[in-house]
Amino acid sequence: MISQSGATSKVISAENVTVDYGAEPVLIDVDLDVTDGELIGIVGPSGSGKSTLLKVLLGTVPVRAGKVDRRPGLAVGLVPQVEHIDWSFPVTVAECVGMARARGLRTPWITKAERAEIHAVLDRLGLNGLANRHIRDLSGGQQQRVFLARALFTKAEVIFLDEPTSGLDVKTRHEVLHLLDDLNRQGLTIVLTTHDLNGIAAHLPKIVCLNTRVIGAGPPEDVLVPDVLERTYGSPMHVLEHGGMRVVVDSPLFSVDDIGKASA
């Protein structure tokens, strides 16, 4: 399991946050504190408000009630879901990373100093030699790392990742997870959403179970328990111990026939 690096002060704090998009509330009375150096995973079923919570913490979605406090001058970065990227957009890896430094008056072209910084970030993430490749011509793991590099290039102190491992194979998922662990150990605060309880969430030092409300928050030992998972996902789940890790499995008693009987 990934260990928690030394957490010190709050960087973002959400208190009693309620969000709606003009209809049913997507988040109700959500409390979440993000402290310096944390690595947090937000899990929950589809439509539970995971991505909305990320946007609330980022400050791009207005809240209907409650308040969100961010440390003044906090630099944040967002790694979007790869499904939302227009892969035919004509940009190379270097341009994709370089465009992120866009605030204030900048030269249209990437300066020599910026190019050196971009290469340093790409080297740090194992993408050396790919700066002039089109973003479409990379593997899934490399694409994910390019967008991480873009967030790092902005000197972000907190990085948010929306479903960073969706659509990736097991090996690439491990690579991404280890990379995030390395970055966290170097002091970066990371908040991510994931559907993958066993592949990702169980390895994280802190998990937040969300289903419109926060059902549970804490280390996997406290959160990955049948009661919390059932209240989060709305279906019974079993938790097994395997090699010191928690493994979540669907209830063997809950088959397709049971669903049919329940709905009848």
Structure tokens at 203: 């390895």
123 counts as binding other proteins under rule CB under 8 A = no
Scored b (16 or more CB within 10 A) or e, 115-134 reads: eebbbebbebbebeebbeeb
For residue 36, the tally of other CB atoms under 10 A from its CB is: 17
CA distance 183 to 240: 29
String of contacts with other proteins for each residue 40-59, x by CB under 8 A:
---------------x--xx
Q: How far is the CB of 229 from other proteins (least distance, A)?
A: 30
Contacting residue, 18, 92, 166, 235, with other proteins by CB under 8 A: 92
Instruction: State the nearest-atom distance from the C-beta of 208 to other proteins, in Å.
Output: 19
Closest approach of other proteins to the CB of residue 110, in Å? 9
Are 92 and 110 in contact by the 8 Å Cβ rule? The answer is no
Q: Does 139 bind other proteins (CB under 8 A)?
A: no
Interaction of residue 109 with other proteins, rule CB under 8 A: yes
> Is residue 62 a contact residue for other proteins (CB under 8 A)?
no
Nearest to 26 by CA among 223, 237, 213: 213
Residue closer to other proteins by CB (options 71, 213) is: 71
Q: Report the nearest approach of other proteins to the CB of residue 211 (Å).
A: 23
Residue of 101, 119, 124, 174 interacting with other proteins (CB under 8 A): 101
Instruction: State the DSSP code for 2.
Output: P
Region of 128-136, 169-177, 202-210, 220-228 interacting with other proteins (CB under 8 A) = 128-136
CA angle, corner 109, sides to 104 and 111, nearest 5? 85
